[in-house]
Amino acid sequence: MEPLTDSAIDAWADDLRGPVALHLREKLVPVEGDEAVVFPPTYAFSERREGPPYAINQLSDGKKVVQMDSVGSQANRMEPLFLRSKPGMPPNPLADLVPQIDFAIEPELEISLLDVGHRLGDALVRSSTLKEDAESAFAAFLTNGDAGPIAKLAPTSLVFGAWDSRGEGAKLPRLVQSVIRAWDVDPLTRSAQYSPAINYAKFAVFSDEEKEKAEGNPKSPLAQRGFVEVPAVDTHGGVVVRGSIYRDVTVNLVALRQLGSPNSGMELRRYVLGLALVAATEPQEAFLRQGCLITPEPGAGGTWTLIQRNGLREAVVLDADVALRFARRAAAAYGVGQDRKVAFSRDRAKADLPKKDLKAKKS
């Protein structure tokens, strides 16, 4: 396969009859090796639901599939790739590709827009001096399809999606969608026993009767504060993966080509595509959560596939170096928005509260 050229990537953003998507399937393995126990994320399901608190589905052939990292979680891992490095750390080569917008919460606390869950549609944006600019950007997109103001203000909202559900109602579809699933899994349970360092009843911290009532009851105040013995029996203990763990990444080129802006639509689409490719190809952090440290399988070589409108599939050579080279060129041609520091406003946050909540506080 020939390496991708910038002109070939340009066509993905420019050609209305061009390919519809890029897709990567990457095989992952636990650091402990095949058939190791890994821990999926837990969810607060209804008490009526039986089984471990994992997003497990059983297929018609009886095999179970578990979600190891959701689309939203993957997006939240990719977006901070563009963060400015912290003081004393090596400079981040990706930070110059996007405007760095920081919310000044208090003198010693700042939060980057790249760390905000709902991006430009987040409550923190509406609770700050960025509110009017965000409203104007969403309005331009909603009324005449102009994505330019959003691209200059918060371009990763175009890459990972955002919904101005409490404002103008504009919806920005995800251009990059990534999810990790493990196939053919068996859930496990685990048990443990907590024992306090000393017998607190012996030293009259509380009575023997209080100790006896509290032991074995994890809901008792003494147990919750770690003063008595508490068993944890048959709690969720991760899953054994009999099959494989795959990360699937899709770059939606159709949604990309729907982005427009007067006089600079082509440059904008190439710029946003560059950010999407960087986010999709940059190596991910292997540590998803406690008990879930997974890496790409050596030699498996995740392959990028270009899918044409007629369904034809073509393997392409796309890696982080190619993506970053293209993104830098596209960013220089379009022009990255200005870095800004905006102030959090308690009054704006209060004004944004639902009126029924305000009435409840007054009564």
The number of residues in the chain equals 363
Residues 2-45: pLDDT tens digits?
Answer: 778 999 999 999 999 999 999 999 999 999 998 899 999 999 87
SS (H, E, C) the chain: CCECCHHHHHHHHHCCCCCCEEEEEEEEEECCCCCCEECCCCCCCCCCCCCCCCCEEECCCCCEEEEEECHHHHHHHHHHHHCCCCCCCCCCCCHHHCCCEEEEEECCEEEEHHHCCCHHHCHHHHCECCHHHHHHHHHHHHHHCECHHHHHHCCHHHHHCEECCCCCCCEECCCEEEEEEEECEEEEEEEEEECCCCCCCCCCCCCHHHHHHHCCCCCCHHHHCCCCCEEEEEEEEEEEECCCEEEEEEEEHHHHHCCECCCCHHHHHHHHHHHHHHHHHCCCCCEEECCEEEEECCCCCCEEEEECCCCCEEEEECCHHHHHHHHHHHHHHHCCCCCEEEEECHHHHHHHCCHHHHHHHHC
For residue 166, which phi and psi values (nearest 5 degrees)?
Answer: -110, 10
**Token output for 133:** 């600019």
| pLDDT, position 57 | 94
CA distance 263 to 165: 29
As a whole-number percent, the residues of the chain with pLDDT over 70 amount to 96
**Token output for 349:** 């946050």
105-116 burial: b if 16+ Cβ within 10 Å, else e: eeeeeeeebbeb
Residues 73-105: pLDDT tens digits?
Answer: 999 999 999 999 988 889 999 999 999 999 999
Residues 251-284: pLDDT tens digits?
Answer: 999 999 999 999 899 999 999 999 999 999 999 8
Residues 100-123: pLDDT tens digits?
Answer: 999 999 988 999 999 998 999 999
| pLDDT, position 355 | 74
| pLDDT, position 288 | 94
Sign of CA dihedral 49, 55, 60, 63: negative
Look at phi and psi of residue 112 and say left if phi exceeds 0, alpha if psi is from -120 to 50, else beta: beta
Q: Over 80: is that where the pLDDT of 363 sits?
A: no
- Residue 361 pLDDT class (50, 70, 90 cuts): low
Higher pLDDT, 284 or 180: 180
